[in-house]
Amino acid sequence: MAFHEMASAACRALTARKDGPSLYDLCDPLLLNGAGNGASGDQHLGQFYRTALANAALRPLLRRTGLSELNDASRFAALRHALTQARDDERPDWAAIGQPVAELLDTVKLRHPRPPAVPPEGPPPGLSDIERVIRTCGAHLLRTFRNNGFIPAYASFNLIGDPDIHGREFLMALTGLDARGYKNSTLLFNLARTFIARSPVRDLINPSWKGIAEPMWQPIQIRHRSAYYDAFYIESLLGFVESGLASREESAAAKRAISAMTDFCLGASRERVRGVDGRDFDVVTAIAPAPHPRFSRFFAQIKQTLGFGLYVPDCDTTACAFSAAAQAGSSDPMLDQPLPDFYSGYQVKAGANAPKVTVAINDHIDYDGAIVTWIDNINGDRPYGNDLDPTLNLDVLEASFRNLARWKILETPERLDLLRGIVRFQKNLAANGAFAEPRSHIYYLPELYCAYFGRCYAAFMALPEQARAAIDPDGAFGFIRERVLAYVQDELITHEMNPFDAALALIALGHLGAEVSTLTPALHCIVRHLGEGGRHGPFKAYEWNKMKTPTRILVGGPEATSAFVLMGLSLARAALKRT
């Protein structure tokens, strides 16, 4: 968003005509000064309100954002009563509390990006231009690691929320989440969404952008470290070394960074949990205990106040960390654990969407055969309830393919059945086209699903033919490949892209063996945008993954963009050199 556009949007928000009670008219008497909160109640709701919504930056923008229906005294009173219950009741009835908020939320009209079609471009950029971008991105990652001792990612909040969270999905989340602090933040963020989306503040908080992946333009970005990100950075730096474009010094620096990040994934981020069968396993948690995540003191406190005090391990971070460590040649005994035995306790079977999935906001898809997201810690905590994401399940497959012999998957019928169940789940997504719908995904874009399917497909095709036939006797991978290629070729690359979109397209097309000519639009997009990141890096920060609850929280960063661009261009370069 240009400065003049931002200034204009801010001016409209500050001078808007107020046509009903505002968020602060509703909440201040209940939450601003710690009113209520008896011994049986909850102090966190007021803390969250004061930190996230009633702060000095947001209050001037929202103080004139009124809702006309709240002039109805009965509706206003119903909301007040719901907030009072959430604040004071020892065991709140969250379905009843959420109902008046859900009714307001259903008046919000948001939509996913719809980039315009673009005409075909000429011949692809030259190899020298592509190699220059690869070297620039590799140098950016290594420089960041040298300066920080790690490669960060950033989280930022988009208070407009996610287009897929309506009243129904909000109630699902509110009742399916476990931690009260997380319920509180979900309640108040979604209440605020209505005031934001139906006022001029909308244009300031949620400006339009080019392409699919959302740019992380928000001024508040929380820098942190996670094993999930380190695992991907390991793969990216391995690709940089294997490309042959890194200098001798860069190759040595990349290997040192890879070793350090592998140690972080399998060491500082390791957590002991108990499987459903009673056996103990070492898994990988997304946010390791302090000080490993590298939050600033300021944001560490805010994280706690916003309801993110307790993190638990997850199936995705564990799979990605195991895969990256295996690719890096790690001999850590942790990798010898047969993860399919552990994952079997988190697999949904016989089409039953419950009780494993408590936050079923994408329940239009059939979960049969898939793995849920969150792993109970050793104390049995699961603060986010549980949900199910298709892309996560690709990562479980990819890690299993890379460790097929180590885990004796083909020799163990139960382990083989687990993989076949996930493959069946993925084939169903492709058959009905659900993989291309944003609402099917909890943490990722459909475009990222396509890139990660390409990565998974490459690992699958690297297996011996006999192994592939045992895992996929019905040819599901070939079927999914055709559907994903069609989506990328007919939809993604024929419309306006930003560099992150283009990198995802190249990763999918490169791994899936697409015609070289299809690489051209994405290559031009990336080369054309080199330098857009200014002092932060070669490219801007874009949405890599997200959370839809408690509001739309994006995670990415300029380093993440560099990593994806590096991987996409490396695959494209190899394809071009083969022609």
- Residue 140's H or E segment, with its range, is helix 127-148
> What pLDDT, on a 0 to 100 scale, did the predictor assign at position 201?
83
Helices and strands, counts by H and E, the chain: 23, 6
> What pLDDT, on a 0 to 100 scale, did the predictor assign at position 264?
96
146 shares a domain with 67 = no
Q: 302, 51 in Cβ contact below 8 A? A: yes
What span, in angstroms and rounded, lies between the C-alpha atoms of 182 and 18?
A: 31
232 shares a domain with 97 = no
Among 204, 233, 268, the domain boundary falls at 204
> What pLDDT, on a 0 to 100 scale, did the predictor assign at position 222?
85
Neighbours of 241 (CB within 10 A): 17
For residue 374, the cross-strand partners are 314
Q: How many residues does the chain have?
A: 579
> Does 66 map to a domain?
yes
Tell me the residue range of the domain where 84 lies: 3-114+164-204
Q: Residue type for 32, please? A: L
> What pLDDT, on a 0 to 100 scale, did the predictor assign at position 4?
56
458 shares a domain with 415 = yes
What span, in angstroms and rounded, lies between the C-alpha atoms of 132 and 530?
A: 10
> What pLDDT, on a 0 to 100 scale, did the predictor assign at position 8?
66
Neighbours of 7 (CB within 10 A): 12
> Does 14 map to a domain?
yes
What span, in angstroms and rounded, lies between the C-alpha atoms of 334 and 493?
A: 41
Q: 306, 51 in Cβ contact below 8 A? A: yes
Q: The tokens of 130 are what?
A: 């592509």
> What pLDDT, on a 0 to 100 scale, did the predictor assign at position 408?
98
Among 174, 204, 234, the domain boundary falls at 204
> Does 411 map to a domain?
yes
138 shares a domain with 55 = no
500 shares a domain with 395 = yes
> Using CA of residue 265, residue 268, residue 272, residue 276, what is the dihedral sign?
negative
Please report, for the domain that includes residue 480, its CATH number.
Answer: 1.50.10.20
> What pLDDT, on a 0 to 100 scale, did the predictor assign at position 39?
47
> Does 120 map to a domain?
no
414 shares a domain with 523 = yes
> Does 387 map to a domain?
yes
Q: Residue type for 473, please? A: P
509 shares a domain with 429 = yes
7 shares a domain with 67 = yes
> Does 121 map to a domain?
no
404 shares a domain with 371 = yes
* CA angle 371–284–471, rounded 5-degree value: 40
> Structurally, how many domains does the chain consist of?
2
323 shares a domain with 199 = no
Q: 171, 32 in Cβ contact below 8 A? A: no
> Does 508 map to a domain?
yes
pTM: 0.94
> Does 443 map to a domain?
yes
pLDDT along the chain (579 residues), means of 10: 59 72 95 64 85 89 90 96 95 97 95 95 94 98 96 92 96 94 94 92 85 83 91 98 97 98 96 92 87 63 60 93 97 96 92 75 95 92 92 98 98 98 98 98 98 98 98 98 98 98 98 97 98 94 94 94 98 94
559 shares a domain with 518 = yes
Q: 227, 269 in Cβ contact below 8 A? A: yes
210 shares a domain with 185 = no
> What pLDDT, on a 0 to 100 scale, did the predictor assign at position 61?
86
